[in-house]
Structure 1
Amino acid sequence: MLVRRLCTSLAKFNNNPFFLSRKFINPFAEFPSSPAFLTSPKTLQFTSHRPVLPARCFFSANSPMGDARRPAVVPIPCPETADRAELYRALEASLGSPFSSEPLVPNPNPLVIVISGPSGVGKDAVIKRLREVRESIHFVVTATSRAMRPGEIDGKDYFFVSKEEFLKMIAQDELLEYALVYGDYKGIPKQQIREHMAKGSDIVLRVDIQGAATLRNILGKSAVFIFLVAESEEALVKRLIDRKTETKETLLVRIATAKEEIKHLSNFDYVVVNKEGELDGTVKLVESIIDAEKAKVNQRNIVI
């Protein structure tokens, strides 16, 4: 009776014959008790053609199946009492792989070290002592068109060539850098650098400030640039006077040039003060710079 009243009330708002009928009939009564779509296997079709994959099996650490990638458990003897070789083998077996004897980090790259500074600061003296205390250093002998000074040795201090020969080297692209300094040419032969870097040697280049600026443009950050200075202007002038290799005109030019060259200090990576009578300390500082560069994670890499 309650259901019939409900259907009558709903019929007032709906024109569906189902609700207008006085006799409530089960709308699902016409379906057979065993419909064909439930019994006929032909009607069961899958729209997806994706292959059915086997279910994955996961095993916990305590599962008897274990983990096939995990190395077998190997008893490790007590480190305090075990034989070293026995402990070493047990550790290898426990980790599942032998320990490598290869270096953990590669050998550092050879460096190109550019040493520059005003005339009279002691560049030659520093480089000479550096070569004596560090065997892996190769000093690149510069080619020059100037005349040989007393005590200098051709092929050791400089390669002394004529201006015509120097110009021929320029034309054949045999020089990494060259410049006209005080009326004479100076340049760095490429072949020397290539040969000794291939042997693993560090390269030291001695250039003036103009040459250092040119090399910075060519080599960028791939080389180490060290600026060598005296402890004061007074000390620098006294050293130039004591060399007794200049006329009064050239002496005045060198001093004026040195005052200007010091202003370029900020273009270098390091500055080293070469105090009078403290050559060994200066060389140790240069060695420390080289060692620090070789310990860097990101090595300088240079191609000549």
Structure 2
Amino acid sequence: MDLPIDEPSGRRRRGLLIVLSSPSGAGKSTISRMLLEADPAITMSISATTRPMRPGERDGVDYKFVDDAAFDAMVAAGEFVEWAPVFDFRYGTPKAPVKAALRDGRDILFDIDWQGTQQLHSAMGEDLVRIFLLPPSMAELERRLKARGTDSATVIASRMERAAGEISHWAEYDYVLVNGDSVACLEEVRAIVAAERLKRSRQAGLVTFVRDLVAGR
């Protein structure tokens, strides 16, 4: 299958795997949704999870919801490119759709934590762009968690306790942004994606293009 054409250059390029990570409540899901709406060339990776479905979520669209036995079977069969426990549940990225997207030259967005990012980087590092979102302050992070209205006070306290540990992995990412304003943060993410798409290593056929250019063909 032909690789997608990058509009500014007119040349074909390889696909891109884009990771957005943050502590719970720092905005990765919001920025992910806004990025998908703003850029139709990007599709969302659908993770499998043992977490119960939340109101408004759809199976196979937001997540593939499975029970523990089904998740265990997927792990045993080597069906995940990455998986990790998060709080009391597990999340994993099915391998087959990711490989198919790379083969077809499509861009995929991942809403995963640092553990999943480490595994994904080990498996597909050269195709991966890692972006970490920080909250402007811990007080603002707690306010956002409470404003969601989906978690109990006990769960919020657990998420806040875990946040410092998650933030400690910021240096493992290629880009680190402070998400104080979602619109401004989105524009920064889009600038990163635009630059990464234009990297020399992702320009398929560039050697031939330059050779023909110099030869006057």
Please indicate the TM-score interval, normalised by the length of the shorter structure. 0.7 to 0.9
Cα contact 1:137–1:204 (8 A) shared by 2? yes
Amino acid across the alignment from 2:200: V
Partner SS for 2:82: strand
Q: 1:300: how far off?
A: 9.1
Matched, 1:183 2:88: yes
- Residue 119 in 1 paired to residue 3 in 2? no
TM-score by length of 2: 0.83
Equivalent of 1:168 in 57, 73, 80: 73
Q: What's the C-alpha RMSD, in Å, of the aligned pairs?
A: 1.9
Instruction: Give the C-alpha shift of residue 225 in structure 1.
Output: 0.4
Map of 2:138 onto structure 1: 233
1:286 is aligned, of 182, 189, 198, to 189
User: Number of residue pairs matched?
Assistant: 196
| Structure-2 separation of matches of 1:221 and 1:120 | 29
Larger fraction in strand: 2
The equivalent residue for 2:123 is 218
Deviation at 1:198, TM superposition (A): 3.3
Encode CA deviations 1:263-284: one digit per residue, 9 max, x unaligned: 1111100012222xx3222212
Q: Give the corresponding residue for 1:131.
A: 36
Q: Compare CA radii of gyration and give the structure with the larger one.
A: 1
Q: Cα gap change, 1:294/1:213 in structure 2, threshold over 3 Å: closer, same or farther?
A: same
Give the letter aligned to residue 296 of structure 1: K
Q: In structure 1, what is the equivalent of residue 157 of structure 2?
A: 252
The one of the two structures with greater contact order (alpha-carbon pairs below 8 A, sep at least 6) is: 2
CA 1:300–1:187: 2 relative to 1, 3 Å? farther
Amino acid at match of 2:61: K
Contact 1:141 1:155 in 2 (8 A): yes
Q: Which runs of 5+ in 2 are unaligned?
A: 1-8, 205-217
Is contact 1:179–1:186 with CA below 8 Å preserved after alignment? yes
Normalised by the length of structure 1, the TM-score is 0.61
Report the Cα offset of residue 199 of structure 1.
Answer: 3.2
Say if 2:137 is the partner of 1:205: no
Q: Secondary structure at the match of 1:226?
A: strand
Q: Is the Cα–Cα contact under 8 Å of residues 142 and 156 in structure 2 kept in the other structure?
A: no
Query: Which 5+ residue runs of structure 1 have no aligned equivalent?
Result: 1-103
Q: Tell me the amino acid that sits aligned with residue 284 of structure 1.
A: E
CA shift for structure 1 position 200: 2.5
What amino acid is the match of 2:183? Answer: D
- Asked if the contact 1:111–1:300 (Cα under 8 Å) also holds between the matched residues in 2, the reply is no
- AA at the equivalent of 1:298: S
Measured in 2, the distance between the counterparts of 1:248 and 1:285 equals: 33
- Structure with the largest fraction of helix: 2
After superposition, the C-alpha distances for 1:105-143 in whole angstroms (9 at most, x for unaligned) are 842211111111100011111111111111110111110
Residue 200 of structure 2 corresponds to 297
Q: Following TM superposition, by how much is the alpha carbon of 1:248 offset from its aligned partner in structure 2, in angstroms? A: 2.2
CA deviations over 1:197-231 (Å, ceiling 9, x no partner): 33322011111122222223333343110001111
Structure 2 residue identity aligned to 1:151: G
CA contact (8 A) 1:144 1:186 kept: yes
Task: Tell whether the 8 Å contact from 2:12 to 2:203 is kept in structure 1 after alignment.
Answer: no
SS at match of 1:298: helix
Query: 1:138, 1:196 within 8 Å by CA — same for their partners in 2?
Result: no
Question: CA 1:265/1:253 → structure 2, altered by over 3 Å: closer, same or farther?
Answer: same
